[in-house]
Amino acid sequence: MTKDEFVSRFGGVFEHSPWVAERAFEAGVTETLTAGSVHGAMVAAFRAGTEVERLAVLRAHPDLAGKLAIAGELTEDSRKEQAGAGLDRLTADEHASFTALNSAYVEKFGFPFIIAVKGLNKDDILSAFETRINNDRNAEFATASAQVERIAYLRLTSMLPEGN
């Protein structure tokens, strides 16, 4: 697989951040392509990025149940993930809670609340939101980064066999 083919296929795994796939390829992802091997290479590339680059990846993620979702402007992966957790079926009060938490979270941390929603429902997500907003910035940057890596793995398992 060429670099262009690799980036074309995996460049969206880390939301709107093809540089992660580019660097993973450049580092030598030459083994059999499995979710585990590609994920490992991409996580290494992400973690090797500067704090500014990693922050840009976090900021590339949409707010949960936010304005992009309402406008129908989420990536296909994000739309499916949010819909799977029921975030496309919120009551007016639930939507108001998400909107208020999204705003407070971004104001405090400078990036959106990120959580791998697969297997969670809206109540689980709200509970995590309400807990994590009390973290300090360093703890939340690390937590959000770990969630980005989990989201990437889940996306890769839908594209490739799971092996290591």
Kindly report, residue by residue over 99-130, the tens digit of the pLDDT: 899 999 999 999 999 999 888 888 899 999 99
Higher per-residue pLDDT: 164 or 132:
132
Confidence of residue 58 (pLDDT cuts 50, 70, 90): very high
Q: Which residue among the candidates 16, 39, 61, 95 is catalytic per the annotation?
A: 61
- In this prediction the pTM is 0.88
Q: What is the DSSP letter of 30?
A: -
| Total residues belonging to the chain | 164
Spatial separation of the C-alpha atoms in residues 35 and 106, rounded to whole Å: 31
Spatial separation of the C-alpha atoms in residues 11 and 17, rounded to whole Å: 7
Residue 71 has pLDDT above 50, yes or no: no
Spatial separation of the C-alpha atoms in residues 87 and 49, rounded to whole Å: 31
Spatial separation of the C-alpha atoms in residues 105 and 24, rounded to whole Å: 31
**Mean pLDDT along residues 4-11:** 95
HSE, side-chain direction, 13 A CA sphere, residue 145: 21
Whether 95 is a known active-site residue: answer no
Q: Percent of the chain having pLDDT more than 90?
A: 63
**Mean pLDDT along residues 11-35:** 91
Nearest residue to 62 via CA among 83, 46, 93, 91:
83
Predicted local distance difference test score (pLDDT) of residue 68: 43
- Residue 123: other Cβ atoms inside 10 A: 11
Higher per-residue pLDDT: 136 or 77:
136
Confidence of residue 83 (pLDDT cuts 50, 70, 90): confident
Residue 64 has pLDDT above 80, yes or no: no
Question: From the centroid of its chain, how far is CA 136?
Answer: 20
Task: Report how far apart, in Å, the C-alpha atoms of 110 and of each of 50, 70, 103 are.
Answer: 16, 22, 10
